[in-house]
Every structure is written in C-alpha cells, then in structure tokens.
C-alpha cells in the first residue's frame, strides 16, 4: 500500500521551487484527456502567495498504467481522501472543461461532509450544469471518438498524425467523457462560494451564453470573463486567467452585501 507521500506524488504535482510557504493553495483540475502538465507554468503566472497544485488523475502521463475513473462519485471520494491532509489552510479550486465539473462536484461533497470549503471556485470552458440535456457531442458519431478529438482541436498534431499515440489517448479520453455523461448531478442547494467563470468567445462547445448559467450554482458572487480564445485557452488567455485568479485570491474579502444592495454578478469581455 502506498504511503501518504506516495499518494501525494502520484496525485498532486508541484512545479518549481518555493522560497516560502504560500498563503493559499490552488488545486487545479485538467480537462478530459489532459494531464497536470498543462499547469506547469502557473507558478510563474500567479502571485507568490498562491501555490498552484495540479491534480493528476490516473490513466495518463506518469499514471498511464493505472485505470482511469469512469464515474464521478468514486473519483470525488478518492480525491477527498487524497486532499484531506492539505485542507488545513485556505484553498481554492480551478477546473477547465471536465476539470470544472470535477472541482464543482468536489466542492459539493466537501460541504456535505462538513469539511473545509474552497474560498473560490474557478471554472473555465465548461457549459454550466444547468445546460445539460443528456445529449453529448462525442456520442453516436459516425467517425467515433477520434472524429470528436479532431473536431475539438487542442490535441498536438504529432499525436493526431501517429496512430499509436492516438490509440493510446482515446481510452483515457473516453473514460473521462464517461465521467461527465453519467454524472447527472442536480444539487438542491447551490454552493455559498464565489464562482468566477472564464469563457472563450470563439468556443463552440462552451460559449459564453452557456457558461453564464454557472451563476445559479452559487448564492455568493458570480463573475464571467469572456476571453478572445476558443475551447482550449491559448497562452494569452491563460495569462489573463491567472491574473484574474491571482486578484481574486489576494484581494481583501468583501463584506457581506446588505439585503437589497444589488446584483452580485460581474461580467467582463476580453478584447
């Protein structure tokens, strides 16, 4: 049986060296078929007081030989076991595409168990849960999952051009998408955690109007930033995300608004 430090190294990736402890941990969840490596530059992009910790799900990168999860509930249960020792100081969660749903489901389970809650939930490139209708673009295609991968973009050309690499990617991606399509979670009570959403203006999968529905998932503040990007955030958009996340996590906490003081939603558009 692996010890706690072995679990830490398998599940939680820290990139770079820190001169001093951070004031807040930011748990980062990758997209379907992705890996923790997508966050390798985030320590340079975030303020020193914020420590990004990338979550590596099984079935990819250095965990390639481990079976990937195919259901959300056991995935979240395992995540809570892994993260519990790290909830002893302020933390937030960021998830992109599939990772947004994982972070959202995790926050609900933390609340249900009476465990520490994230100070913020950041979601990117994932249509709001309220928009789910049981139909998924990757199901029932004549060209199969490979066709969906090619249509979405974001996969390196060298992977698409090499049949063996593509064949290695598809089972994990299929498992990740199964996690999404079988979840069907409909919480009766929204989170009381600020949600900051990021949408690509040219994202056909999760356009801004579908991401705006995240506002019903919180009774706290909601913000939506629209960035000049597609479904897979480019480098400039990722910098913008990190700037916004850093501001949110280092700003003084807003006092609770007085009753009837107005809308707690903010929307901004990238240029």
pLDDT the model gives residue 45: 96
Say if residue 184's pLDDT is above 50. Answer: yes
Cα distances from 261 to residues 50, 139, 258, in angstroms, run 31, 45, 5
Say if residue 258's pLDDT is above 70. Answer: no
Separation CA 63–CA 101 (nearest Å): 21
pLDDT the model gives residue 112: 97
Instruction: List domains and CATH numbers for the chain.
Output: 4-269 (3.40.50.1820)
Q: What is the mean pLDDT of the segment spanning 162-175?
A: 86
- As a dihedral over the C-alpha atoms of residue 98, residue 32, residue 180, residue 138, rounded to 10 degrees, the angle is 120
94 alpha carbon, distance to own chain's centre: 5
Mean per-residue pLDDT over the chain, rounded:
88
User: Catalytic residues, which ones?
Assistant: 97
pLDDT the model gives residue 252: 80
pLDDT the model gives residue 149: 78
More confident residue, 57 or 266: 57
Question: 233: pLDDT confidence band, cut at 50, 70 and 90?
Answer: very high
Say if residue 34's pLDDT is above 80. Answer: yes
């Amino acid at each position: 049986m692996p010890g706690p430090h072995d679990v830490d190294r398998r599940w939680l990736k820290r990139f770079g060296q820190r001169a001093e402890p951070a004031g807040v941990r930011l748990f980062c969840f990758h997209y379907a078929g992705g890996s923790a490596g997508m966050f390798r530059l985030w320590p340079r992009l975030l303020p020193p007081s914020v420590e990004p910790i990338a979550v590596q799900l099984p079935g990819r990168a250095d965990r390639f030989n481990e079976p990937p999860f195919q259901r959300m509930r056991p995935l979240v249960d395992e995540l809570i076991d892994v993260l519990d020792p790290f909830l002893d100081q302020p933390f937030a969660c960021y998830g992109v595409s599939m990772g947004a749903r994982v972070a959202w489901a995790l926050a609900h389970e933390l609340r249900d168990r009476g465990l520490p809650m994230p100070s913020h939930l950041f979601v990117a490139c994932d249509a709001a849960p309220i928009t789910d209708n049981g139909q998924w673009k990757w199901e029932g295609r004549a060209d199969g999952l490979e066709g969906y991968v090619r249509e979405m973009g974001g996969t390196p050309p060298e992977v698409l051009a090499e049949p063996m690499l593509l064949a290695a990617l598809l089972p994990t991606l299929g498992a990740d998408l199964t996690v999404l399509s079988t979840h069907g979670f409909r919480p009766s009570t929204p989170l009381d955690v600020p949600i900051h959403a990021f949408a690509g203006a040219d994202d056909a999968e999760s356009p801004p109007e579908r991401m705006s529905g995240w506002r019903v998932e919180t009774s706290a503040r909601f913000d939506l930033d629209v960035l000049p990007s597609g479904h897979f955030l480019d480098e400039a958009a990722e910098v913008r995300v990190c700037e916004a996340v850093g501001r949110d996590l280092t700003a003084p906490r807003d006092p609770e608004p007085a009753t009837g003081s107005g809308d707690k939603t903010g929307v901004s558009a990238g240029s």
